[in-house]
Chain A
Amino acid sequence: MINFADFRRPLRYLGREWNLPKKDFKSARYSLRICLCFPELYEVGMSSLGFNIVYRLLNSFDNTACERCFLPAEDLRDFLIDKNIELFSLESKTPLREFDALGFTINSELNFINFLWMLYLAKIPLAEKQRKRPLVIVGGLPNPEPLSAFVDAFYLGEFEPQAGKFVNILSSFKNSSKEQILENISQVEGFYAPSFFSLRKGPKGYNFSAEEDKKSVFPVRVFARDINKIFIPRKPLVPYIQTVHDRAVVEISRGCPNRCKFCQARAIYSPYRQRDEGLILSLIEDIYYNTGYESMSLLGLSTVNHSQINSILDRAVKFSLGNKIKLSLPSLRLDKSIGTVLEKFLPLSSGGITIAVEAASERLRTFIAKEIDISALEDVAKIFGVSNFTTLKLYFMAGLPSETKQDVWEIPRLVKDFYYLCRRASRRKIQFNISISCFMPKPFSRFERERMEDIEELEDKIKFLRKEISRIYGVRFIYPDIGRQVLETILSRGDRNIALVIEDVFWNLVKSRADYRDNFTLYLWDKSFDKFNIDRQQYLGSYKFSPSAWAHLSGHKGL
C-alpha cells in the first residue's frame, strides 16, 4: 500500500472528487470495466472538457464502470518503478492491466511520450502486436498515424453518438480474442484500427490501403448533427485541489463558421453547430448548483458568432450577478459586434479580455482569411475606459506563409498604437500581454501543405519582436518555445515511421528517469532521428505535390 502523504499533492491520487458517480467501482457486477486515461498530470487532465464528458457518458451506462487515471508526477512515478508497483486507477486503485479497455484522451501531440510512460508504468507492452488485453483506444488526435504501432484502435471525432454501440460491442465480446473485438468495432463508424490498413510511403507520396484479410469500414470522423440532443454532463466532477481551469464550463457551440486558413480546430470540429439559448441557460443554472463553482466560462471556438450571444449574455450576466460568480468568455474575435458583447460584461467587475489578432498587416490577414475588423480595437479601448477589466491579451503569429519583413514590423506598431489608445481612454493601469506563437502547418487546416519556417528564421523574428515590444513601457511579451513548436509540427504531421523515433526517445528518457519537461528537448529527438536515418525536415517542408500522411482521414460523417 502506498502512503500518499509522502508525495506532493496527495489529493491528486485519491479519486475523491465531489459529484463522483455513485457506483461501487470495486464490485464485479459490471460487465465492462474501462479506465479513462489522460497522459498529463491530474491538474491538466481534470481541466479537459472532453475527458469529463466521456467519463460521465461511459458511467451513464448501467453495465459499465469507468474509472480514471492520470500521469503520476515524477515523485510517485519513481516510487512506482522502485517498488515495482503497477499504475492504478484513481477510484478503486485497480492496476490498469486488469481493465477490459483503456481509453486515452490525447489532445496534444506533445503528450505522446507521456502516453508511453503510462503504458510502461502499468507494465503493459508498448507494441500493439505484443498484447492481448487490455484494449488500448485513443481518441482526440487529428492525425493519429504516429501512434499506430502502439494503439489497437483510434476513435476519430465526437464520441457521444457512438458510445452506445461501443459499450455494447465491448461487453458482448468481452471474452473473445482481441482480433474479434477489433473486427467488430471497426464496423462502427468513427473507429479506426490501424492494423487493418497499411500506409506506405512511395515516391509520389503516401499510399493508404486496406489489408486483404481484414474487414472494416473506411475510417471517418464522426460528429453529432444536433448538439442539443446529445449527452451533456450536468454534474461535472469538482476536484478538491486547484486545477488549471478551475471553473464550470458550459459549451455553447461546436465548430466555427469562420474559415481562417491556419486553423486546425475549425477543420476537425466542423461543421458549425450551436446550442439553443434555453438549453445553455438551464445548463448554467444546473452546473452552478451542482458544483458551486465561483467562476464560469462559456465555451466555443468563436463565441461571438453565436446567433443569440447577446440575449444569452444578458441572462448569464444577470445570473452571475445574482449569485456573485465570475463569468468569462474564451478568446474573442475582433468583430463589429465586439463592443456590444463586451458592454454586457460591464456590471461584472473583473477579468480580462483576450483577442486573437494573428497578423498585424491587412494584406497578411486577408491572405490567411482572418477577416476581422481592426477598427473594432477602438471599441475595445473605449470599453477599457469605462470598465474594470484589468488585463488584455493579444495573440499574434510569426512565420505565416508569405510573411514579409514588413508584416512582422507591423506587429509592434499595432501594439503601440493600441496601447496608447487604451492609455488615453483609461486612467487605470492595464496589464498588456502580447503573446506570439509560431505558425505550425497542422493537418486538416487549409495551410496543411505549407512549410514551417526554419528555427533560425523564426528565432530572428521573435528576437526582433521581443526587442521592439519590450520597449513599450507596461507591455509584457510572452514568447514561444520554438523548439517545442517545431517538435509539435513534426509529430502532428508524422506518419507511421516516426513511431520508431518516439519509442527510442522514450526509452532514452526512461533510462535517465528524466523530468517530463525534458520530453520536448529537441536535441534528444534529433539524436533519435539520426539513429534511424529519418530526415526530420521532410515533416516540416511543403507537401504541395503529394498525398500527405493524413489525407485518408479527412472524411466526415454526421450522426
Chain B
Amino acid sequence: MKVKITFLKSGDFIFLSQLNLYILFSRAIRRADLPFVPTQGFRPRLKISFLTPALKIGSLSCEEAVFSLSRDVSLKEFSAKLKDTLPEDIFVIFISKY
C-alpha cells in the first residue's frame, strides 16, 4: 500500500536539506512502528519518494511525499501515529491513498 502525504515545511525546519528531510521521515516512520518497505539495496533504506523537487535550504514550502507500506493501514491510524512522531513544524495537511 502506498500513502501520499502533503505537508508544510515551516518554522526552523525550513533549514532542513532534502537528505535530512528524508532521514527525518524515515526515523519518524520507525518511531511510529509503521510497516515500512525496505529498499532492496546493499544497505536497506525506507522507500519514500518525494513528488516535489528538492528545494534550496531556507525556503518555506508545501511538499508531497509517498510512503510505501508493507501491509494495509487505515489512513486514520497512519495519520495519528505519524502526528506523534513528527516535529510540529512539519505540518501534515493531507493524507491520501496513492
- A residues contacting B by CB (< 8 A) are 4-5, 9-11, 14, 16, 18, 238, 240-242, 288-294, 323-324, 326, 349-350, 388
Contact = CB atoms under 8 A, between A and B. Distances in A.
A292 B43 contact: no
A294 B15 contact: no
Contacts of B24: 240
A321 to B, nearest CB: 11
Contacts of B69: none
Given A5-B58, A11-B15, A18-B87, A292 B31 contact: yes
Interface in B8-50: 12-13, 15-16, 20, 23-24, 26-31, 33, 36, 38, 42-45
A4 B27 contact: no
B42 A350 contact: yes
B85 interface: yes
A291 B58 contact: no
A11 B16 contact: yes
A177 B88 CA distance: 43
A-B pairs, 4 with minimum CB distance? A292-B27, A292-B30, A292-B31, A10-B15
B3 to A, nearest CB: 18
Interface of B: 12-13, 15-16, 20, 23-24, 26-31, 33, 36, 38, 42-45, 57-58, 85, 87, 89
Given A16-B89, A292-B27, A292-B31, 9 more contacts: A10-B15, A18-B27, A240-B16, A242-B23, A289-B33, A291-B31, A292-B26, A294-B30, A350-B42
A14 B26 contact: no
Given A240-B24, A290-B31, A292-B30, A16 B12 contact: yes
A292 B31 CA distance: 5
Nearest to B21: A240
28 contacts: A4-B15, A5-B58, A11-B12, A14-B12, A14-B15, A16-B12, A16-B87, A16-B89, A238-B27, A240-B20, A240-B24, A242-B20, A289-B31, A289-B33, A290-B31, A292-B27, A292-B29, A292-B30, A292-B31, A293-B27, A293-B30, A294-B26, A294-B30, A294-B45, A324-B38, A324-B44, A349-B42, A350-B43
Nearest to A5: B58
Contacts of B89: 16
Given A18-B87, A240-B20, A242-B20, A291 B12 contact: no
A294 B36 CA distance: 13
A293 B24 CA distance: 10
B63 to A, nearest CB: 16
A236 to B, nearest CB: 12
A290 B57 CA distance: 27
A349 B36 CA distance: 19
Nearest to B16: A240
Contacts of A289: 30-31, 33
B7 to A, nearest CB: 15
A103 B62 CA distance: 41
Contacts of B57: 5, 10
A289 B85 CA distance: 10
